[in-house]
């Protein structure tokens, strides 16, 4: 049997579906919890109903929040679908709806980009294709699967890959001079040096170096240490310590809870059944494999390979752009650049009527929320979209085709502020695209030699 045949056989091999049930319950409950938080704290109203303008993702500019009370209904539906997934009730239909509604929510406001929302969007897109309800589900109780309590191994491998990818690419992104010089942690820990108890630790001169290199080593190795039985116990402890410390230091939403909850995916497939024998009962014999790969299985494996290829390639796309990705932001999204840099900035929009020569400034906070303004001060694409919106508003007021010039000065990891956008370029005339932006200025400032006096930005999302 050649290598491709052995690989196909390994992917189609039936394994206990109990880990997929664990994952289904964990993901569904966390999605329901996140929906509850958005509704209970009215983040829906603050970020999706009240704003007069929403930042989009190119080329998904057509994705917008629903009008009126639609965002509340949208998030409520996401919460109910999360519960349906957790219970395994009408699993396929719930997964399909969730695969539509959650990415839609994620894409409807770029100022709310969070890596864990992107991750849940990807997991939601995978949901309809995974056999998640064959064990411990209402569907299995109502109508047992023809495959019994087994599932093809590729489903488990795919989830391990998707979760492990987050860690490994998070570590690869840290292989840059600023992180290896511990500057982001120097800034963040300095702001926390007056905390009770932990402040004494954060204030130690070695602490930024320890957290920087410990985080780098953790990200690059933890999926493999979890997979290896001999190192698994220590790896689980490391996962708990890492995510608890991150939650204490940064308060980063559902991400640490999600990553801890899905950690058992890396264990042996029979771990869940051995842990909960009374709940799941014994595992029956596996179904026989067909004598040859069916056309449907070939198509499925082809789609699986395409998904893996895209997920591996997308985080490297910043190599196609000139400049430092943490500075220009080109290729920063969808690349697992998590809590990687510290950025602050200030922005001024100057409008010019080319016919009369009149010049005036506009305050974007008149139609943007405080979070939107904070994000556009460091993200060129958001400043670009704001320039387009200011030009549109000027036309609506009868001023004609105005020019919009942007003075955006940014500090990266404690450097003095420097212009990020060429202030002589009319951004209202520049189209949005995936091509490199000629109006972005290079980073020409080295790292500082001591901590700056101005406050940090608290880290990126």
Cis, peptide link before residue 59, omega less than 30° from 0: yes
CA 164 to chain centre: 14
Q: What is the pLDDT tens value at each position of the chain, 461 positions in all?
A: 555 778 888 899 999 999 999 999 999 999 999 999 999 999 999 999 999 999 999 999 999 999 999 999 999 999 999 999 999 999 999 999 999 999 999 999 999 999 999 999 999 999 999 999 999 999 999 888 776 799 999 999 999 999 999 999 999 999 999 999 999 999 999 999 889 888 889 999 999 999 999 999 999 999 999 999 999 999 999 999 999 999 999 888 999 999 999 999 999 999 999 999 888 888 888 887 777 888 888 899 999 999 999 999 999 999 999 999 999 999 999 999 999 999 999 999 999 999 999 999 999 999 999 999 999 999 999 999 999 999 999 999 999 899 999 999 999 999 999 999 999 999 999 999 999 999 999 999 999 988 877 566 666 66
Nearest-angstrom CA–CA distance, 414 and 221: 29
pLDDT of residue 459: 60
Contact in structure between 263 and 235 (CB atoms under 8 Å): no
- Listed in sequence order, the residues at least 6 apart from 442 whose beta carbon sits closer than 8 Å to its beta carbon are 322, 323, 327
Q: What three-state secondary structure class fits 14?
A: strand
Give CA separation, 209 vs 186, 202, 238, in Å: 8, 11, 18
Among 88, 121, 148, where does a domain finish? Answer: 148
Among 148, 164, 183, where does a domain finish? Answer: 148
pLDDT of residue 460: 61
Q: Residue 274 is encoded by which pair of tokens?
A: 């051995």
pTM here is: 0.95
Contact in structure between 405 and 352 (CB atoms under 8 Å): yes
The answer to whether residue 102 sits within a structural domain is yes
Contact in structure between 410 and 345 (CB atoms under 8 Å): yes
Q: What three-state secondary structure class fits 150?
A: strand
Among 122, 148, 174, where does a domain finish? Answer: 148
The answer to whether residue 106 sits within a structural domain is yes
Intra-chain end-to-end CA distance of the chain, in Å: 47
Q: Residue 277 is encoded by which pair of tokens?
A: 């024998």
Give, to the nearest 10 degrees, the angle between helix 183-191 and helix 207-227. 110
β-pair type (359-362, 150-152): unpaired
The answer to whether residue 272 sits within a structural domain is no
The answer to whether residue 235 sits within a structural domain is no
Give CA separation, 217 vs 32, 171, 221, 225, in Å: 32, 7, 6, 11
Q: If phi over 0 gives left and psi between -120 and 50 gives alpha, with beta otherwise, what is residue 233?
A: alpha
Query: How many domains does the chain fold into?
Result: 2
The answer to whether residue 265 sits within a structural domain is no
The answer to whether residue 182 sits within a structural domain is no
Q: Residue 262 is encoded by which pair of tokens?
A: 């899905």
Q: What three-state secondary structure class fits 404?
A: strand
Q: If phi over 0 gives left and psi between -120 and 50 gives alpha, with beta otherwise, what is residue 226?
A: alpha
Q: What string of DSSP letters covers 304-364?
A: HHHHHHHHHHGGGGGGGSSS-HHHH-TTTTTTT--S---EEEEEEEEEE-TTT--EEEE-G
Backbone φ, ψ for residue 332 (5° rounding):
-75, -40
According to DSSP, residue 427 is labeled G
How long is the chain? 461
- Listed in sequence order, the residues at least 6 apart from 158 whose beta carbon sits closer than 8 Å to its beta carbon are 126, 130, 304, 307, 308
The answer to whether residue 346 sits within a structural domain is yes
pLDDT of residue 7: 87
Contact in structure between 170 and 338 (CB atoms under 8 Å): yes
pLDDT of residue 307: 98
Q: What is the number of other CB atoms lying within 10 angstroms of the CB of residue 50?
A: 11
Q: 58-71 burial, b for 16+ CB within 10 Å, e for fewer? A: eeeeeeebeeeeeb
β-pair type (14-16, 418-419): unpaired
The residue ranges of DSSP E strands in 77-207, in sequence order, are: 150-152
The answer to whether residue 158 sits within a structural domain is no
Q: What three-state secondary structure class fits 130?
A: coil
Instruction: Tally helices (H) and strands (E) across the chain.
Output: 20, 6
Name the residue range of residue 418's domain: 333-429
């Amino acid at each position: 049997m050649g290598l491709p045949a052995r690989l196909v056989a390994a992917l189609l091999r039936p394994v206990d579906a109990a880990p997929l049930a664990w994952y289904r319950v964990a993901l569904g409950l966390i999605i329901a919890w996140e929906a509850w938080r958005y509704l209970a704290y009215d983040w829906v109203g603050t970020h999706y109903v009240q704003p007069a303008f929403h930042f989009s993702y190119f080329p998904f500019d057509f994705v917008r929040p629903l009008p009126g009370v639609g965002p509340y209904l949208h998030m409520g539906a996401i919460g109910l679908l999360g519960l349906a997934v957790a219970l395994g009730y009408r699993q396929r239909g719930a997964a399909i709806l969730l695969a539509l509604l959650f990415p839609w929510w994620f894409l409807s406001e770029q100022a709310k980009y969070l890596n864990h929302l992107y991750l849940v969007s990807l997991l939601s897109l995978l949901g309809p294709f995974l056999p998640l309800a064959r064990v411990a589900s209402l569907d299995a109780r109502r109508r047992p699967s023809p495959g019994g309590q087994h599932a093809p191994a590729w489903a488990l491998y795919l989830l391990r890959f998707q979760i492990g990818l987050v860690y490994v690419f998070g570590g690869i992104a840290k292989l840059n001079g600023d992180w290896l010089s511990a500057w982001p942690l120097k800034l963040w820990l300095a702001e926390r040096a007056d905390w009770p108890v932990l402040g004494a630790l954060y204030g130690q001169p070695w602490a930024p170096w320890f957290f920087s290199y410990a985080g780098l080593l953790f990200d690059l190795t933890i999926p493999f240490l979890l997979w290896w039985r001999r190192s698994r116990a220590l790896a689980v402890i490391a996962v708990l310590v890492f995510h608890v410390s991150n939650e204490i230091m940064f308060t980063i939403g559902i991400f640490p809870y999600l990553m801890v909850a899905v950690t058992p995916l890396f264990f042996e497939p029979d771990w869940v059944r051995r842990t909960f024998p009374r709940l799941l009962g014994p595992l029956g014999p596996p179904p026989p494999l067909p004598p040859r790969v069916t056309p449907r299985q070939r198509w499925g494996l082809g789609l699986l390979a395409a998904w893996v290829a895209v997920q591996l390639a997308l985080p490297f796309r910043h190599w196609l752009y000139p400049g430092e990705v943490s500075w220009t932001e080109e290729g920063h999204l969808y690349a697992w650049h998590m809590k990687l840099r510290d950025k602050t900035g200030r922005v001024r929009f100057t409008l010019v009527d080319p016919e009369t020569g009149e010049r005036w400034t506009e305050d974007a906070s008149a139609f943007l929320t405080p979070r939107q303004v904070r994000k556009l001060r460091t993200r060129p694409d958001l400043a670009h979209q704001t320039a387009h919106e200011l030009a549109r508003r000027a036309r609506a007021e009868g001023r004609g085709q105005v020019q919009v010039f942007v003075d955006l000065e940014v500090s990266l990891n404690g450097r003095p502020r420097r212009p990020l956008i060429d202030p002589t370029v009319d951004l209202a005339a520049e189209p949005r695209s995936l091509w490199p932006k000629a109006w972005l200025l290079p980073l020409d400032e080295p790292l500082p030699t001591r901590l700056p006096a101005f406050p940090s930005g608290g880290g990126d999302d």
